[in-house]
């Protein structure tokens, strides 16, 4: 059983790593919103079918929390996908991994907990890695795409922290919560297509159906359902460790499949990001697990 859980989680990490290249193949700056609207619409419909099959009711608390989180998730997808349209798949997949650093920092501020000094060293090394990766041999400023993905990483940290806090306030079914979030994203992106970029009907005329279905079914619905299933069968630390390999796969796929070209400093940046985020995750996890119960409740 444990091997099967690990393999499925690893498949999720690989699919997430491939998301950046798939999205880059599917979008232009004008079609970002149309793609996101279609992706969220189909994902929300599939999740709604899952909810209906379980014969469970979404509570008022889940609706409220899901709507709030859905607005944040909309911002994450918007910044991330617009960023992907303006940078490489490798850069996008690695820069978004800084969420692992930003989330504990935000949580520490909100909970008024002090993180170990080593964590800030890891954070600084991760940021240095991004600078090396974006500059790739020079001191040029990050591209527009790099900056948009960086904003997405910050907003994703806000989203993750909000999920934790809203979920702890009242019992919530994770499938219900995700379904409401996806439906909120679908509604917001669909409304935005009226004012910005390509319309959904026009985008459908040149959409690659195979890549689109892979993005929705494998990278969105399958990934969420596996997480929900896996967290009940293994430890949260193990889930985090396996899903944390996402940037590794993003780099591998970007370099080998998309043929993203990097100089030696770019590879050094990749190594710094991967090492620093893994170190930062380990420091934060050890710090969280070693805190006395009284402090954790504050």
What is the tens place of the pLDDT at every residue in 214-241? 999 999 999 888 877 776 676 655 666 6
CA nearest to 163, candidates 188, 147, 180, 148: 180
CA distance linking residue 115 with residue 120, whole number of Å:
8
Return the H-helix or E-strand segment holding 147: helix 144-169
- Specify the long-range contacts of residues 221-224, CB closer than 8 Å, at least 24 apart: 221/43, 221/46, 221/47, 222/12, 222/15, 223/12, 223/15, 223/16, 224/47, 224/178
Q: How many CB atoms lie within 10 A of CB 51?
A: 17
CB 65 within 8 A of CB 244: no
- What pLDDT does residue 98 have? 84
**Residue among 126, 152, 122 nearest 285 (CA):** 122
Number of domains, the chain: 1
| pLDDT computed for residue 22 by the predictor | 93
The helix/strand/coil state of 295 is helix
Burial annotation 281-294 (CB, 10 A radius, 16+ → b, else e): bbbbeebeeeeeee
Round to whole Å and give the CA distance between 10 and 266.
25
**CA-to-CA dists, residue 179 to 93, 121, 172, 225, 259, angstroms:** 25, 38, 12, 11, 36
| Residues of the chain where predicted confidence (pLDDT) is lower than 50 | 292-298
Euclidean distance between CA atoms 99 and 154, whole angstroms:
6
Q: Give the pTM.
A: 0.84
Domain hosting 203: range is 2-296
pLDDT at position 190, please?
A: 96
- In terms of Cα–Cα distance, which of 162, 180, 159, 167 is closest to 56? 180
DSSP secondary structure letter of residue 196: S
């Amino acid at each position: 059983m444990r091997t099967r859980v690990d393999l499925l989680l690893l498949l999720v990490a690989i699919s997430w790593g491939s998301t950046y290249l798939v999205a880059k193949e599917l979008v232009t700056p004008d079609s970002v919103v149309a793609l996101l609207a279609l992706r969220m619409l189909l994902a929300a419909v599939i999740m709604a079918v899952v909810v209906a099959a379980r014969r469970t009711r979404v509570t008022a608390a889940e609706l409220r929390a899901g709507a709030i989180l859905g607005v944040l998730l909309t911002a994450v997808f918007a910044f991330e996908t617009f960023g992907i349209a303006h940078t490489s798949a490798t850069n996008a997949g690695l820069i978004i991994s800084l969420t692992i650093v930003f989330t504990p920092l935000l949580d520490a501020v909100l909970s008024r907990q002090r993180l170990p000094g080593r964590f800030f060293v890891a954070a600084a090394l991760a940021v240095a890695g991004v600078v090396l990766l974006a500059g790739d041999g020079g001191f040029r400023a990050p591209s527009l795409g790099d900056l948009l993905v960086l904003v997405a990483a910050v907003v994703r940290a806000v989203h993750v922290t909000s999920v934790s806090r809203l979920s702890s306030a009242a019992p919530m079914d994770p499938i219900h919560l995700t379904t409401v979030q996806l439906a909120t994203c679908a509604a917001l992106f669909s409304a935005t297509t009226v004012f910005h970029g390509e319309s959904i009907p026009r985008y459908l005329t040149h959409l690659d159906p195979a890549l689109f279905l892979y993005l929705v079914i494998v990278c969105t619905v399958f990934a969420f359902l596996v997480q929900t299933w896996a967290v009940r069968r293994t430890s949260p630390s193990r889930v985090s460790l396996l899903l944390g390999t996402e940037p590794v796969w993003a780099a591998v796929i970007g370099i080998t499949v998309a043929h993203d070209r990097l100089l030696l400093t770019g590879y050094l940046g990749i190594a710094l990001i991967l090492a620093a985020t893994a170190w930062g995750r380990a420091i934060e996890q050890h710090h969280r697990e070693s805190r006395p119960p009284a402090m954790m409740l504050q």
